[in-house]
Amino acid sequence: MNVLKIRNEMRNGKSIFDMPLRVTFYARVSTDKDEQLNSLENQIQYYTDLIQSKVSWTYIPGYIDEGISGTSTKKRDSFLQMIEDAKAGRFDFIITKEISRFSRSTLDSIQYTQELLEHNVGVLFQNDNINTLDPDSEFRLVVMAGVAQDEVRKLSERLKFGFRQAIKNGHVLGNDKLWGYDKKDCILTINESEAKAVRRIFDLYANQKMGIRRISQKLYDEGFTSRRGNAFNVLTIRHILENPKYKGWYCANKSQTVDYRSKRKIFLEEDEWIMYPDPSIPAIVSEELWDRANALYKRRRQQMLSHQNAAEFHNRYPYSGKIICEEHGTSFHRQVRKSMKGEKEAWQCRVYRNRGRAGCSAPQLLTEELDQIMARIFDQLAQDKQAIVEAVVKIIRSVPNELDYQQDIRRIAEEISAIIWKKDRLLEMSIERALSTTEFKQRNERFNQQLQELERQKRSLELEKDKSKISVDQLSKIKTALEEEITFQNGINSALVTTILDHIVVKKDSTREVMRLDIHLKLGEPYEAIIDRKNSSFSFNRLKNIIPAKAIRMTWSPSVPLG
């Protein structure tokens, strides 16, 4: 029905409940706790019965969001679907409990109710006694929505205060599933079966100097698994190592919410954390062991973050992180195979390492096999050396200056800030009735479109800036290597492999006898290689008409079976 027609009938004394309307409802709870979900079920039943009890109304199934806060509409899928369905003309009237259920943001409340009215859809905020089909509803809605938003702010402050008081009183808040502990009524007790894994993690890391990924595999081999029966996630092990609760210390105030509406958080510096020994938290490891583990963790982390040592940790070997299993998309990991004839360096899929051949059928690769193939590729590259150098120089010269990108990004950021200020001013003018509903919507939509376009341009420039840094860095190294250092005459060279090789893909149809690989170079055309282990031979060819820096394919047949 037309909004003007409905309002005229209401002025003549006709009740909204007696009009032939298609009616739906919107229900929401802010958490997924049992009592909240029960409340949601009650809301659904109430609105269903209410709508179906009105003879003149036609029931339209409602829209429900679970565990969603009212401060933002960004993640409320059902709410947004309801708005789209309203625009499509699928119903005439929405019933919801109160403004805070519909939206606690003043901007959202005004914008969406105006948008719905323009599509001839009204909203009844039941507890607030506001029907947007009433002529005076908009003014009352502005007032009530403003109150609702202030209540959210006050609630946020009360929660912060309560959280700070809980910290002072030693109550353990946050995650109820802390590994190694059981938690009840904010009190932690040791779960001994899980605590064994925690102690083992600290021992392997601090005493045996084992890396986190190796610890994950070691735990799995020893029968320690996650609650779902899988190997420990690397992040889980890191969190265990960093959490001072395991030495009996309380730790809180690691982050702070800077905007109660967007819930955006910032992580605080360690000197701002609240930490102290807490007798109410039972220690799983000694304080001395925890401190040694964390000193080692910080030292390793600092080394990994430093530019000087990054290559040492991430590319300790020429093929580290560069061999990919096509079937699983995971990298091959290095291992040393020992036999009566000595040691051999091999590479195998991570899934194979974790689950054996039942998990992945990709065969192992020997470093000596890869070296032979790369040496042949380098021989061919040497013949095209001048052409490659010229191509590198051309690409380097075409890369825009990073400073140009930064200036453009700064300019766009300033434009974004200016539009956001205009949007805020526009809202104030709307609340002050200095703008009509139509004019507010048109201007606001125009600002939103401008913001979206500017954000898109900014993201694109940031990506291009990052690409330019990578291109200049990598291509400069290749140019220097080809012109000054690398002659391709001294056999395989680790620095050469690291500089030239981008990645290798082990094809799905590879077997222990015949291996097929795609070899991608950072510059130049890719190669296809086939390794025949049975006949101790290999062949390869350059793939034409493929974008440079893509793949190399190899086929291999091993003469010596690998387990």
135 and 277, same domain (yes or no): no
Lowest mean pLDDT segment, chosen from 70-79, 91-100, 180-189, 345-354: 70-79
Q: Is 563 part of a structural domain of the chain?
A: no
90 and 32, same domain (yes or no): yes
Q: How far, in Å, CA of 19 to CA of 21, rounded?
A: 6
Query: Which amino acid makes up residue 294?
Result: N
Contact 278, 250 (CB under 8 A): yes
282 and 418, same domain (yes or no): no
Q: Is 482 part of a structural domain of the chain?
A: no
Q: What's the CATH number where 207 sits?
A: 3.90.1750.20
Q: Tell me which of 278, 310, 342 is where a domain ends.
A: 310
pLDDT over 70 percentage in the chain: 65
Residues 6+ apart with CB under 8 A from 263: 69, 71, 72, 257
418 and 446, same domain (yes or no): yes
H or E, element range at 14: none
Place of tokens 């005493």: 207
Q: What's the CATH number where 65 sits?
A: 3.40.50.1390
Residues 6+ apart with CB under 8 A from 320: 314, 334
What predicted TM-score, i.e. pTM, was given to this entire model?
Answer: 0.35
Q: What is the pLDDT of residues 195-211, one digit of tens each?
A: 999 999 999 999 998 88
Number of domains within the chain: 4
CA distances, 91 to each of 39, 55, 56 (Å):
25, 16, 14
Which range of 259-273, 303-317, 352-366 scores highest in mean pLDDT? It is 352-366
Helix axes 192-202, 234-242, angle to 10 degrees: 90
Q: Is 170 part of a structural domain of the chain?
A: no
Place of tokens 């339209």: 60
Q: Tell me which of 310, 335, 366 is where a domain ends.
A: 310
Q: What is the pairing mode between strands 553-556 and 527-532?
A: parallel
Q: Is 540 part of a structural domain of the chain?
A: yes
Q: How far, in Å, CA of 252 to CA of 237, rounded?
A: 19
Q: Is 168 part of a structural domain of the chain?
A: no
327 and 429, same domain (yes or no): no
Q: Is 353 part of a structural domain of the chain?
A: yes
pLDDT at 482: 53
194 and 148, same domain (yes or no): no
437: tokens are 């509903």
Q: Is a pLDDT exceeding 70 seen at residue 9? A: yes
272 and 338, same domain (yes or no): no
31 and 124, same domain (yes or no): yes
Q: Is 185 part of a structural domain of the chain?
A: yes
Q: What is the pLDDT of residues 225-266, one digit of tens each?
A: 888 888 888 888 988 998 899 998 877 666 655 444 444 555
Contact 508, 540 (CB under 8 A): no
Instruction: For residue 141, give its domain range.
Output: 3-154
pLDDT at 7: 83
14 and 134, same domain (yes or no): yes
H or E, element range at 377: helix 367-383
429 and 513, same domain (yes or no): no
Please compute, for residue 44, the number of CA atoms within 13 A of its CA located in the half-sphere on the CB side: 14
539: tokens are 């062949």
Q: What is the pairing mode between strands 93-96 and 122-125?
A: parallel
Closest to 178 in 3D by CA, of 164, 166, 194, 193 = 194
Contact 253, 273 (CB under 8 A): yes
Contact 367, 517 (CB under 8 A): no
Taking the CA atoms of the chain, what radius of gyration do you get in angstroms?
Answer: 32
Q: What is the pLDDT of residues 452-481, one digit of tens each?
A: 888 888 887 777 666 555 455 555 665 565
CA distances, 289 to each of 75, 206, 216, 285, 294 (Å):
43, 7, 19, 7, 9
Burial class (CB in 10 A: 0-12, 13-18, 19+), 541: exposed
Q: What is the pLDDT of residues 440-454, one digit of tens each?
A: 788 888 888 888 888
Q: Tell me which of 425, 440, 471 is where a domain ends.
A: 471
186 and 215, same domain (yes or no): yes
Q: Is 161 part of a structural domain of the chain?
A: no
291 and 185, same domain (yes or no): yes
